Structure formats: structure tokens, C-alpha cells
């Protein structure tokens, strides 16, 4: 699976927003600084995430963006689909579905693409922003690791 820069930056911003969820809104400028992302491109990404219902925004000095729901309720699948659409090459998924009228190799690629897409969907739909943030913190040895009881 290859993520576009749009999805990569969106995921990085979402992880920052998850880390700051209880603190409130983060301005685009601050998100851009924390992750070293281009500000204008990030603005476009955040607007898309807002349109998908993943973020809410507030105008003003204390404004910015925040997650629309808690990080425990937002799956990576919802996030990535809002930014990317299909995560597997659509040309492979759109191949003819009739094995009798399709070359064996082309049909095999179609079946492989369906399996890969299913596996990716299973993983990203079962992983939340909170889990990803927690795993990231543990791997980095951060002191702010979330613990659940």
C-alpha cells in the first residue's frame, strides 16, 4: 500500500490532533510546525477532513481544528478513505470479473487486488487514532503514554 502525500500529511496531522484532543483546538500553523508540513497544503487537507465530518473548526484567536469525536472513535480507515478514496490501485479492482472472458494472469491480478484491499480494509478499519498514537508513544518511549484500565 502506498499513501499519497495528502494521506500521509493528513494522518500525521490527525495523530497530532489526537494527542491534543483534551486540550482543545490547534491552529493549522501549529500543526504545520509540529510535523514540519507545508501550511497551505495542510489547510486543504484539513478542510477535506472537516467536510468528511472528522474535524470541527473554530474561528478566532483560540480557534483552529480539533477531532469531531474522541480518538478512540475514529478509525484509520475512515480517515484514509476521506483523503484517498480507494487504497488499492483501482485499475486492478476494476478488471473484468468474468473468469471465462478474461486472461488468466489479468484475472489473477484482479483476485489479488481484491484480497489485498480486503486485508488493508480489515487492518485500517480496526485500528483507531488512539491506538496508533499509543503505539507510537510506546515505540518512541514518550512519557505521555496513554494507559487504559
Q: Where are the domains of the chain?
A: 5-85+128-140
Phi and psi at residue 67, in whole multiples of 5°? -65, 140
SS3 13: helix
Per-residue pLDDT, 2 = 73
What's the whole-model pTM score?
Answer: 0.81
SS3 128: strand
Class of the CATH domain delimited by 5-85+128-140: mainly alpha
Per-residue pLDDT, 61 = 84
Per-residue pLDDT, 89 = 59
Query: 118 near 4, Cβ under 8 Å?
Result: no
Per-residue pLDDT, 106 = 76
Per-residue pLDDT, 149 = 45
Per-residue pLDDT, 42 = 96
Q: Would you put residue 128 in left (φ > 0), alpha (ψ -120 to 50) or beta? A: beta
Per-residue pLDDT, 5 = 94
Lookup: cell for 46: 484539513
Distance CA 123, CA 96 (A): 26
**Which residues are paired to 64 by β-bridges?**
58
- Which uninterrupted H or E stretch holds 3? none
Comparing CA positions, the residue from 2, 1, 10 lying closest to residue 83 is 10
**Which residues are paired to 26 by β-bridges?**
65
Per-residue pLDDT, 98 = 61
* Weakly modelled stretches of the chain, pLDDT under 70: 1, 86-102, 143-149
Following DSSP, what letter does each residue of 29-95 receive, concatenated?
A: HHHHHHHT--HHHHHHHHHHHHHTTSEEEE-STT-EEEESS-GGG-BHHHHHHHHHS-SS-HHHHTS
Amino acid at each position: 500500500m502506498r499513501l499519497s502525500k495528502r494521506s500521509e500529511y493528513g494522518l500525521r496531522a490527525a495523530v497530532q490532533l489526537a494527542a491534543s484532543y483534551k486540550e482543545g483546538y490547534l491552529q493549522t500553523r501549529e500543526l504545520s510546525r509540529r510535523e514540519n508540513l507545508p501550511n497551505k497544503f495542510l489547510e486543504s487537507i484539513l478542510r477535506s477532513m472537516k467536510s468528511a465530518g472528522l474535524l470541527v473548526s473554530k474561528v478566532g484567536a483560540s480557534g483552529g481544528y480539533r477531532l469531531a469525536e474522541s480518538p478512540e472513535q475514529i478509525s484509520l480507515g475512515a480517515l484514509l478513505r476521506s483523503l484517498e478514496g480507494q487504497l488499492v490501485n483501482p485499475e486492478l479492482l476494476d478488471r473484468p470479473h468474468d473468469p471465462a472472458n478474461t486472461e488468466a494472469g489479468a484475472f489473477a491480478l484482479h483476485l489479488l487486488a481484491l484480497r489485498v484491499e480486503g486485508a488493508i480494509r480489515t487492518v485500517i478499519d480496526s485500528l483507531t487514532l488512539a491506538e496508533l498514537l499509543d503505539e507510537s508513544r510506546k515505540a518512541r518511549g514518550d512519557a505521555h503514554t496513554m494507559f487504559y484500565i
